[in-house]
Structure formats: structure tokens, C-alpha cells
Amino acid sequence: MRVAKPGPDRGHAWRPYNRSSMALARDRCVCLRKLDYSETSQILLLLGREHGLLRVIAKGAHRRTKAGASKFDGGLDLLDVGDAVFTFDPARELNTLTEWGLREGHLELRRSLRAMYLAQYAAELIALLFQEHDPHPALFDSLVKTLPEMATPRAEETFLAFQLDLLRESGYLPELGHCGECGLPAGADEYAYFSADRGGVVCRNCEGTVPDRLSLDARLLRLVQGVLRLPREGANGSASASPPLRLPRLTRYQTDPINRLLAVHVQHTLGRRLRMAQYVLEGAG
């Protein structure tokens, strides 16, 4: 079927789409997810400091000129931090990345499988728990500061602190201070329990009425409560979602049970499995 072009009596003449007419935005970003779209292009999920989660396509990301140059330096990798230039229209599902200047590639992070698992798990949680175009600058700063720390001997406590801050910032932090049944303070007894259905901890007196309860060492519960009470170091010395100033040195023996319960809570709340949780908890007793 042929469609007549609009004439003077049919309204405005048709105009071709011009990408250059769209507004360009700049932001410091972290690459949370990538998908090779073609031999030369990538679809990316970025976390921008000022723009929040962004879905963009990097056309020609793998393409290089005869001189060897590329506006994306050969493509973006997971967890890269860079300065991005992109078209920005919140109504569009997919904007276009036009430039990328790499700031940090986290080479040390990539030399440790455990560190990569923790970092990718953090990226997955951010992608699932936040809405697009909803900026959280303090959380972005915390992520940028936390990523290199995951490649050090302090990886376990650093990740735990970031995870707790992330859950608190997103509104998904379970109730860890009071029993989800009776409301009394939790953690004083020798025994404690956790219920995803009740949204947090359950005291010893109420555990019999909670079918999905999971045992939790009360010492670990008190440890988490202590981490949540620690002051946070902001850019101006004010409280923010940055890692705590003083974290106790922790091992997987301490953090794995906590990570497992938090994963159970998030999966129950979202109604879906967390892909990276199995790798983070791999080998846990």
C-alpha cells in the first residue's frame, strides 16, 4: 500500500529523524552490565552519578579506524568507570552512548575471582533494586570507592558494609533490630532467627510461630547491627552511603551466613533468583 506524503493541506511535511537534535548529557558512570549487540556494538547498563541507571547502545564500540583509534577504546568492560557522553531522553528505553573516556579499569580486581564475584553481585543488586533515571550520588561514590577495596584482604567486610548501605538506600534492608513478630529488640539472646516472610529477624520466643525461620548466630546479628551503627564518611565529612570509617576484619565464616540471609530476603521480596548469589556463596558451609 502506498502512503501519500503530507502536503501543505495535510499538515507539516515529514522530517527524517536527526539524532544530533537530541540533547547530549555527560556523567561519570560505572558499567554494570553489557551485551554484545553485534560484531561492533554493545548494549550497556550504566550507573551514572547524576543520572542513575541508564540503558544505552554503544554503536561501533568494537570498531577501530585504520589508525587504530576508537571513540570507545575498543569497547567497555564490566565494572569499568569512565566519563560518558550520551543522548538523554527519559522517555526512550535505549539512549545512545556517543563517547567514553575510561577512568578506571580495575585491573587488580580482575586478578581475583572472589573479588569479581562480589563486585558483579553488587552490580546485580543495584540493577535490580533501583529504578532507571533515579540518581543516588552517595551510593555511586560508595561503589566507586568500594570496587578497588574488594581486591584487598578487606574484601569481605567491605562488601558486607556496601551491601547493607545499598539495601538501606534502596529501601530493601530487612528489619534487623526488632523481632518481626512481637517488635521487641532482637539480638540480646544467645539464639536468633531470620524470616524472609516476616521481613527480618525473629526472637526466640516467637520463632515457633514462623514456619520459614532460619537459624542465625546472635553474635553475627549483633555484628551486623554494629556495622549499621558505624558512622559513614561523606565527601564533606557528613553522613552518607560511603563505607564505614572503621570496619572490623571479617572472614567468610562470618560473612557467608549474613550474605545468605540477605540474599534469601531479597529473592523473597523480588520474587526472583539472584544470579550471582550462588557464586558469592559457593563453597560456603
Residue 278: which region, alpha, beta or left (left: phi > 0; alpha: psi -120 to 50)? alpha
> For the chain, give me the number of helices (H) and strands (E)?
6, 8
Ranges under pLDDT 50 in the chain: 1-20, 66-68, 235-244
Amino acid sitting at position 52: G
Query: CA 101, 103, 107 angle in degrees (round to 5)?
Result: 125
Among candidates 116, 138, 102, 127, which has minimal Cα distance to 44?
127
Query: CA 26, 32, 37 angle in degrees (round to 5)?
Result: 85
CA distance 250 to 236: 28
Helices (H), the chain: 113-129, 137-149, 155-170, 218-229, 252-270, 277-280
Q: What pLDDT score does 236 carry?
A: 45
Sheet containing 214-217: which strands, arranged edge to edge?
200-202, 191-195, 214-217
Q: What pLDDT score does 71 carry?
A: 67
Residues in the chain: 285
φ/ψ of 162, rounded to 5, equals: -65, -40
Q: What pLDDT score does 233 carry?
A: 58
Among candidates 71, 85, 75, 76, which has minimal Cα distance to 28?
85
User: Are residues 102 and 68 in contact, defined by beta-carbon separation less than 8 angstroms?
Assistant: no
What is the DSSP code string of 128-146?
Answer: HHS-BT---HHHHHHHHHH
Q: How many angstroms from the chain centroid is the CA of residue 148?
A: 15
- Sorted by sequence, the CB contacts under 8 Å of residue 191 that are 6+ apart come out as 204, 207, 215, 218
